[in-house]
Structure 1
Amino acid sequence: MTTRAGGVSQGLHASMNLGRAVEDEPAAVAANRALLARALGAPAVFLHQVHGADVLTLDGTHLDGERPRFDAAISTSLGLGCAIQVADCLPVLFAARGGVGGAHAGWRGLAAGVLEHTVAALCEASGSGPDELHAWLGPCIGPQRFEVGAEVLQAFGSDPAAPDARFFVYRANAAGEPRWLADLPALARARLRAAGLRHIGGGHWCTLSEPSRFFSFRHERLAGRMAAAISLI
């Protein structure tokens, strides 16, 4: 998992920006991605993330050309990694015997089942059971800072009039409008456990609370992008 430090980008995107769509210098982004590949020990495929739930099975052809429009990927190929870009959404990495995967789990993708789809695809490709998978949750906007409206609760089947306190805490905003604080990592852990996973770690860092360490879209709309990456080596 990268932070915003350790790269070559300048100014607002200093210094380890990995996103190409945030008005950073293309040469700087390319250099930063090369640093990530060196640290990972393998080239990584970057996705065109669209807040969906589709899962791509990677092969060597995905290293070149247009970025595939997916929010999760798995790989059973040695030396071919998957990279999930984030700047407040939750990245989740998966490891199994013979396969790895990554998912971009903002609230829309999470509610749509991106984690369950990734688990199913990785289990099928690697021949592993869900209880054999290991999942790791990276930095995202934390439960003390992620303010959401009623539509988010409804997307997860929670009634705004009686929200599930494990995941949502009522707090009106400054204008007195109804809002809730949402716990994205807790929602992800619950879905992973329901999918049969027993080995789940991470999810303890808030991107919005540490702007000097992490890029945060809610802190800076033109913020850079970090990446969680994993490869079978």
Structure 2
Amino acid sequence: MDQTILRITLMIDLITPGWPAPGHIKALFTTRSGGFSNGVHATFNLGMHVHDTPENVIKNRALLRKYLPGDPHWLRQVHGARHVWIKHGDMQLQEESGDAALSRESNTVCAIMVADCLPVLLCDTAGTIVGAVHAGWRGLAAGIIEQTVAAMQTERNALMAWLGPAIGPAYFEVGEDVRAAFVDSDQRTAAAFEPADSASQSEPKWHADIFQLARYRLAHAGVTRIYGGGVCAYSDPGRFFSYRRDGETGRMAALIWMEKSGEYAK
């Protein structure tokens, strides 16, 4: 193996979710460290749509592939509420539009990309289904979590969720329209919003807690076993990409799959 590739591979910074998922459920969250990209995309950018060179993204995805049982099925994320079922070996030339990936098949990697939006990983206690959700505020307000949970067709008390790094409430300033998108349909979500210093009577501004909003939505969907949350991507530029902080930037990935015994060992 090329020594440069070996050195970079060893420097990849991957986060393993801390949750009581079954042993054959595997999940990872990537950070910005350890790849080939440079400039505003430095260094482990996995997004092909963010004006990084395709060659760098291909090499970064090849590094990630070493930790996975197969190629991830990348989605064309649109901040909506559509889920996509992923089947083993179903690698389409054209990425499907959707903001959640689901699978019941082993060694089939569900993936979503983020740079401030909240990644939510899902599985059941029996380890028969996995899912990855791209939960920005638009998707949360549109019901991406509820629709994904419903599509899993699993007893809600058997489901668990892990919330990955996202923009923290201290930096997620939103307008009254965003607050209204949640509070108008569920008054309890008002607790996830605090007035911002820049607020005025004519133009209210709020600090939104996307982790708390996701917990409300998960609970509304019947999922109460919730882990993770609270890690702010915006405030840690050395480890995480953040669109709100930097504008032009790279993308990180949240990935989950079911390992088939004897076929793959991490």
Report the TM-score, using the length of structure 2 for normalisation: 0.80
Q: 2:193 aligns to what?
A: 168
Question: Of 123, 132, 143, which residue of structure 2 is paired with 1:113?
Answer: 143
What is the CA deviation profile of residues 74-113 of structure 1, one whole-angstrom value per residue up to 9, with x for unaligned ones? 0111111111100000010111221100111000000110
Q: Which amino acid letter does the alignment assign opposite residue 137 of structure 1?
A: L
**Number of corresponding residues:** 227
Question: Of 2, 24, 49, which residue of structure 1 is paired with 2:52?
Answer: 24
Task: Please say if 1:228 is aligned against 2:254.
Answer: yes
Conserved in 2, the CA contact under 8 Å of 1:52 and 1:108?
Answer: yes
Task: Please say if 1:203 is aligned against 2:233.
Answer: no
Q: Distance in 2 between matches of 1:67 and 1:147?
A: 31
Q: Distance in 1 between matches of 2:235 and 2:223?
A: 29
1:82-93 to 2 correspondence within 5 Å?
82-93=110-121
Q: Distance in 2 between matches of 1:158 and 1:173?
A: 23
Task: Please say if 1:103 is aligned against 2:136.
Answer: no
1:138-177 to 2 correspondence within 5 Å?
138-158=164-184, 165-173=190-198, 177=203
The 10-residue stretch of structure 1 (22-31 or 58-67) with the greater mean CA deviation from structure 2: 58-67
The 10-residue stretch of structure 1 (188-197 or 144-153) with the greater mean CA deviation from structure 2: 188-197
The 10-residue stretch of structure 1 (57-66 or 202-211) with the greater mean CA deviation from structure 2: 57-66
Conserved in 1, the CA contact under 8 Å of 2:69 and 2:108?
Answer: no
Change (3 A) 1:74 1:164: closer
Change (3 A) 1:153 1:175: closer
Which secondary structure does the structure 2 equivalent of 1:63 belong to? coil
Runs of 4+ in 1 over 3 A off after TM superposition: 162-165, 174-177
Conserved in 1, the CA contact under 8 Å of 2:37 and 2:45?
Answer: yes
Q: Which amino acid letter does the alignment assign opposite residue 37 of structure 1?
A: R
What is the CA deviation profile of residues 122-177 of structure 1, one whole-angstrom value per residue up to 9, with x for unaligned ones? 2x2xxx31111121111111111100001001111349xx9955200012418884
Q: Distance in 1 between matches of 2:67 and 2:189?
A: 40
RMSD: 1.9
Conserved in 1, the CA contact under 8 Å of 2:84 and 2:101?
Answer: yes
Which secondary structure does the structure 1 equivalent of 2:123 belong to? strand
Identity %: 48
Post-superposition offset of 1:42? 2.7
Which secondary structure does the structure 2 equivalent of 1:169 belong to? strand
Q: 1:180 aligns to what?
A: 206
Post-superposition offset of 1:65? 0.6
1:71-90 to 2 correspondence within 5 Å?
71-90=99-118
Conserved in 2, the CA contact under 8 Å of 1:57 and 1:74?
Answer: yes
Q: Which amino acid letter does the alignment assign opposite residue 149 of structure 1?
A: G
Q: 2:43 aligns to what?
A: 15
Change (3 A) 1:134 1:174: closer
Conserved in 2, the CA contact under 8 Å of 1:89 and 1:106?
Answer: yes
Q: Distance in 1 between matches of 2:207 and 2:75?
A: 29
Q: 1:43 aligns to what?
A: 71
The 10-residue stretch of structure 1 (162-171 or 24-33) with the greater mean CA deviation from structure 2: 162-171
Conserved in 1, the CA contact under 8 Å of 2:117 and 2:134?
Answer: yes
Q: 1:216 aligns to what?
A: 242
State the structure with more CA Rg.
Answer: 2
Which secondary structure does the structure 2 equivalent of 1:47 belong to? coil
Conserved in 1, the CA contact under 8 Å of 2:183 and 2:189?
Answer: no
Q: Distance in 2 between matches of 1:119 and 1:38?
A: 30
Q: Which runs of 5+ in 1 are unaligned?
A: none
Q: Which runs of 5+ in 2 are unaligned?
A: 1-28, 260-266
Which secondary structure does the structure 2 equivalent of 1:156 belong to? helix
